[in-house]
Amino acid sequence: MKRQIPLLITFFVGTLLIISVFVPPLGDLERDFTLFFDIIAVFAFFLGGGNLLRIHLMKLANRRKDWGFSAVTVSGFLFMLAIGLFKVGNPGGIAEAVDAEGSWFKVMFDNVINPLQSTMYSLLAFFVASASYRAFRAKNREATMLLIAAFIILLGRTPLGVMLTGWIPEWMSVAQIPNLAVWIMNSPNLAGQRAIMIGISLGVIATSLRLILGVERSYLGGDSD
Partner 1 sequence: MTNIGVILTLIVIFGGLLWLLVRSISGREVDRRIIFLFIFVSVAAPIIFQITFKERATPVVEALFANIDGLPAGSKVLISFDFDPAMAPEVQPMANAMSRHCLEKGHKIVFMSLWATGQSLMTTTLSRVILPEFPEKVNGVDYVNVGYKAGNEGVLNVIVSDFKKMFPTDVNGVPLDSTQLFRDIRSCADLDLIIALGGGRPGPKEWVLFVGDPADVPVGVGVAAVVAPQLYPYFPQQIVGILGGVKGAAEYEQLLIATHDRFVDMETPGIDMMGPQTLAHVVIMAFIVIGNIAFFRSRSKGGSK
Residues at the interface with partner 1 (CB under 8 A): 27-28, 30-31, 34-35, 37-38, 41-42, 45, 92, 95-101, 105-106, 109-110, 113-118, 120-122, 125-126, 128-130, 132-134, 136-139, 147, 150-151, 154-155, 157-160, 162, 178, 182, 185-186, 189-190, 193-194, 197
* Separation of alpha carbons 15 and 214, rounded Å: 12
Instruction: Judge contact between 166 and 173, C-beta under 8 A.
Output: no
CB of 13 to partner 1, least distance (A): 14
Cβ–Cβ contacts within 10 Å for residue 104, how many?
19
Nearest residue (CB) to partner 1, 50 versus 115: 115
CB of 199 to partner 1, least distance (A): 13
CB of 171 to partner 1, least distance (A): 18
Nearest residue (CB) to partner 1, 13 versus 162: 162
Nearest residue (CB) to partner 1, 67 versus 151: 151
**Alpha helix (H) ranges present in the chain?**
4-22, 27-61, 67-85, 104-108, 114-122, 124-134, 141-156, 159-165, 177-184, 190-212
CB of 54 to partner 1, least distance (A): 22
Nearest residue (CB) to partner 1, 5 versus 44: 44
Instruction: Judge contact between 217 and 7, C-beta under 8 A.
Output: yes
CB of 97 to partner 1, least distance (A): 4
Nearest residue (CB) to partner 1, 99 versus 216: 99
Nearest residue (CB) to partner 1, 181 versus 212: 181
Nearest to 86 by CA among 110, 103, 109: 103
Sign of CA dihedral 85, 90, 95, 100: negative
CB of 82 to partner 1, least distance (A): 17
Which residues make Cβ contacts (< 8 Å) with residue 211, sequence separation at least 6? Answer: 10, 14, 219
* Separation of alpha carbons 60 and 63, rounded Å: 5
- Residues across the chain: 225
